Structure 1
Amino acid sequence: MTHLAIAANALRKSYGDKVVLDGIDLAVPEGTVFSLLGPNGAGKTTAVKILSTLITADGGRALVAGHDIAADPQAVRAAIGVTGQFSAVDGLITGEENMLLMADLHHLSRREGRRVAAELLERFDLVEAAKKPASTYSGGMKRRLDIAMTLVGNPRIIFLDEPTTGLDPRSRHNMWQIIRALVSDGVTVFLTTQYLEEADELADRIAVLNDGKIAAEGTAAELKRLIPGGHVQLRFDDPAAYERAAGALHETVRDDQALTLQIPSGGTQGELRSILDWLDAADVHADGLTVHTPDLDDVFFALTGPADVPDQPKETVR
């Protein structure tokens, strides 16, 4: 039986006349990564703030770690960790002092706090920098310290609100490894991100939030199948072979200058094999073959509209 770390029903939130969340439902199984995607201002951070008890919803109900966010917010806070868009690291003190401060806030004994801080600093490869002011840390180091501080209380559910925004590619990939390691330990991660690639890489399930509603939800593969436009492209160096193929194949899109043909396809192995079999049977040689299947960018544009999508980094919504 699947247990839900987060279960929300009909969550609503407005600011004046602006409806930010218009009755959204969420179901996040334990030990998984759930990614909430959406354009800037779609309500992703608002959803995180409601579920982490930082603000109250106008309507609806949610259980986090089995506790009602409205009736028992203290129990919810004891079970979760939150890393926001902006680092909670205090740059005026050292990394180790930041960790010990969090240990104090969690009411750990001095001895236990030092043990937990030392273990987490080692886990996040921050031992050498532990005695240095956090203001001297790189962006990636600050993010690692931020998450290490979040883990001091051993939360089983972690909300990561755009944790890699502003990081260089190497630091982003390091953060992905950290997230995967957390999930392998049974932690549930609720992730909002502006990077579609990030959701594709990490999330077990993805929800796209648009105009306050969940526009679509599913695995990355399921969402991609919602969008038409997959095709196989054949490229020819020989104009005669190109013409023979174009004359025999139906429903193709021609590019007479590039000598390419696009054949509608879902990108399945069977469809690709049938195209190759046809080429062999017709004794037509294609000099290049590429398969295009819709990606999360295509899904995002289709569900939210290109006008609302910023340049990378991109946000997505559930």
Structure 2
Amino acid sequence: MDELLKQIQQYTAAIEAASPSGREQVEAFRIQYLGTKGIVKSLMGSMKDIQPDQRKAAGQALNEFKKLAEAKLESLQDANESAGEDDQKFDLSLPGDFVGVGTRHPLSIVRGRIVSIFKKLGFAIAEGPDIEDDWHNFGAMNLPEDHPARDMQDTFYISQNPSWLLRTHTSSVQARVMESQKPPIRVICPGRVYRNETISARAHCFFHQVEGLYIAENVSFADLKQTLYFFVQEMFGKEVKVRFRPSYFPFTEPSAEMDISCLICEGKGCNVCKHTGWVEILGSGMVHPNVLENFGIDSNKYTGFAFGMGVERITQLKYRVNDLRLYSQNDIRFLQQFTGAV
């Protein structure tokens, strides 16, 4: 008992005189006195040698010693942290670190611009699933299983019988809108589509479309033309020339493709327009009566028009991008060019 009290007195004096500085010295103090093999643990282990009638007094002395060591450690740690904070103070008058300005993807910029233009004309936005069933993607659009036009939209099938596939166009969204709404209908359908094509500078296995649909009474081809004239002037400027060429689409009749004068050569002829001075930007036409009847819409009472454009093609003309693969390669050098376009 006497030997234990003598040791406690010696260690108490050493603790009171200790003045470690810095994290390493403070940590060494903790290990020396309060570590798993430290002095406090060692002294407590010697309690087994104390006479039973003296253990209460010895325990009280040890507890006081332990509290002293813990209090000393806490004060040393607080002092060390305060000194560290003083060392880490920084000058608020110095200029901050440069933070680079991000940018939106060019396809997102153009898609947003297309949507905003058609919103001015009262078109709502409609969206649908990327994985679609055969009926909504093909059958409802007047494309039965044996229709040769399906060869132009070779796609990725997920399963067959029943057939589920990655949609080849956002016309499937139009189908779902006609299925759930009654005329008048005025929507645009932006989204990603997929086709089994060889990836090159002019083609990709996925791309983006914006399709439009307007169904009401007394809708004519003149309404379609004026709508698309307005879009072109808003997107490319009033000086751009427009022409319509007869075409064929199973879901529209009559159908037409729309060209604009080449923005790169100003109609004089170049590689982009194949030296014709014109570039195709979209397909359009009056909704086929069969499509209307597929959804219980009276084709004798209602008529409508539809159109569809590739966002990549519009972006190519808007920003003169000559390779479709650049859109999906995530090359920061390419994306940084559109910082000013946000």
Which structure carries more helix by proportion? 2
**Common topology (TM > 0.5):** no
TM-score bracket for the superposition, by shorter chain length: under 0.3
Using CA pairs under 8 Å that are at least 6 residues apart, name the structure with larger relative contact order, 1 or 2: 1
Larger Rg: 2
